[in-house]
Structure 1
Amino acid sequence: MRRIIAYLVRFAVILIGYAVASLAASAFLNVLFLGYFGYALEPGHPTIAPALYFSVPFLALFVAYFGFMPAAVVILIAEVLGRRDWLFYALGGAAIAVVFLGFAHNVGDGDFDVTDNNVRLALVGCGMVGGIFYWLSAGRSAGSWRREPLPDPEP
């Protein structure tokens, strides 16, 4: 019974880590585009902060939706292999972004394709930031369910 609870706790930690990674990637993408379009993040500017309060969680929904399946594969590999280094997760996040870019290119809809190299690099950078934040929240204890035996107490 203890092992099942350990699995459920680990699954909850993975889901929370994925939500944190999606929010971090979304925030990074928002800040990149604000800088690209010339808006400075000034402390006294009255419209930037409320716009970010809405756009970061809203864009995080799309980040989480489009990155779910490749991220599930990377997370599964990390859990099975017990990878706990930040570089694995940063490169995994970049791979997730590249898979999304390939998906967007092969959909066949010209409006969905990402053609600008600056945007492609921004998306890969967002994947890397998301991977690092996943490592900060959940990746540092990857594979812990395999290394620590939790025997059931004998009656």
Structure 2
Amino acid sequence: MKSDSSSQESATHSPRLTRNQQAVLDVMRQQADALSAQELYSLLLERQTIGLATVYRALETLKLHGLIKSRMGANGEAFYSLVTPDQHYLTCLQCGQSFLLDHCPVQELETHLQPSVPFKVYYHTLEFFGLCTPCADTKGT
């Protein structure tokens, strides 16, 4: 799969990182779930003195290097996680719960797209928004 090799390539050939960027990456590697910048900031403060603006700058740099990705929650807040291949979600607009899809419906498109454009794909995302069954039942839809 293209996204697997792209993710691994960017992770194994990572650029030199500042101490703060490395600290953010280290904390993210210890987390199973995606985190908001505020959550990362709180975890980092337990280990070192760091400013929230520094956390945001580190996150942006790590994204540009293809080491992490972000996705927006239903409330518009960004959540950050390590780049892993093929994670796609169904997100409920009412309760905010996300359900991970078990397969990638667009992998073939990425495979065909990659060699045809002058662009290095680190990862791709796909997210559907709607109502989960419990929320839909309470709305009467």
Same fold (TM over 0.5): no
Q: Give the structure-1-normalised TM-score.
A: 0.34
Q: Which has the higher contact order (CA 8 A, sep 6+)?
A: 1
Per the normalisation by structure 2, the TM-score is 0.37
Task: Report the structure number with the largest CA radius of gyration.
Answer: 1
User: By percentage of residues, which structure has more strand?
Assistant: 2
Relative to its length, the structure with more helix (as a share) is 1
